[in-house]
Amino acid sequence: MLEQIVDLARHPIDQAGFRTTCRNELARTGVLVLARFFTEAAVEQVVADFAGRESEAFYARSTHNVWLTDPDPARDPGHVFNRQIVSTKGLLADDQISDQSPLKSLYGDERFRGFIATTVGLDQVYPYADPVSSVNMHFHRDGEELGWHFDNSAFAVTAPFQLPEAGGRFEYVPALRDSDNDDQNFDGVAAVLDGERSVERLTFAPGDLVVFRGRDALHRVTPSQGDRTRLLAVFAFNEHQGIRLSPSAMETFYGRIA
């Protein structure tokens, strides 16, 4: 039942007026944080379900560029396009998360999907057609981070359930590139990587829902500090039905081909 998972009094996701407010906020700023979206009971259950599953998560022990692509041999190894970024966080894939989880109930809920679609300006959103991509749980133990990157997808829906004692901050630079016009702004990206440009910080708390436009906003999560693992759920949606990750992307992001 949706009302056991979402605080619908605070966030009436079925109401047209509420949806319009959310859509306008996302369009204006590129990010929407709905504070205390999840009920306390749902937060407690998700933490109980996932805290302690760190060792089951997949941790990619490799580096990536900001664009999440292979290096370009035609460019200098020192070019910002080929700069290698470290990411050490882990994840549990969709097929490692119980169908009884509130995360899956929410993800499959038509009212929630309708709300997300309206908020991001689409008629409908669809799940991934592969067994790994739709709902994920990210784990950042002490020292683990997610390095600077642009998302492949136009928008991301995430939900922090547990934050570390310190660190684990979400930092971003809005509209740093213009992917629609293939303007990659190499100088701007280099300035961020070199710490020469100020960045924004997004504050959110366990139980919040975050919708973020990360295709053109460079973003990262700083290293976690302390014994408490950062737990963040990612709800991945598509504009079209039947989309699956390629085998090579699966190998990169999940360490296996499912």
Ligand X SMILES: O=C(O)CCC(=O)C(=O)O
Judged by the rule CB under 5 A, the positions of this chain that interact with Fe ion are: 151, 214
Phi, psi of 161 (to 5 degrees): -115, -20
| Residue 66 near which of ligand X, Fe ion, none (CB within 5-8 Å, type-dependent) | none
Among 234, 235, 245, 250, binds ligand X (CB under 6 A): 234
Stretch that binds ligand X, among 43-51, 122-130, 213-221, 239-247 (CB under 6 A): 213-221
Say whether residue 170 binds ligand X (CB under 6 A). Answer: yes
User: Of 117-136, which residues contact ligand X (CB under 6 A)?
Assistant: none
Nearer to ligand X, 113 or 219 (CB): 219
207 backbone φψ class: left, alpha, beta (φ>0; ψ -120 to 50): left
Give the one residue of 93, 135, 137, 146 binding ligand X; rule: CB under 6 A.
Answer: 146
Residue 166 beta carbon to ligand X: minimum distance, rounded to whole angstroms: 16
Find which of Fe ion, ligand X, none residue 169 binds, CB within 5 to 8 Å per kind.
none
Name the residue nearer to Fe ion (CB basis): 152 or 225: 152
Whole-Å CA distances, 95 to 39, 113, 180: 24, 20, 33
The CB-of-170 to ligand X minimum distance in angstroms stands at: 5
4: closest CA among 100, 102, 112? Answer: 102
- Near ligand X in 2-61, by CB under 6 A: none
Q: Which does 11 bind (CB under 5 to 8 A by kind): Fe ion, ligand X, none?
A: none
250-258 CB contacts, 8 Å cutoff, 24+ apart: 250/130, 250/132, 252/60, 252/62, 253/60, 253/91, 253/132, 254/58, 254/91, 254/93, 254/132, 255/58, 255/60, 256/58, 258/93, 258/95, 258/130, 258/131, 258/132
Which of 232, 233, 245, 250: binder of ligand X (CB under 6 A)? 232
Return residues touching ligand X (CB under 6 A).
138, 146, 151, 156, 158, 170, 214, 219, 221, 232, 234
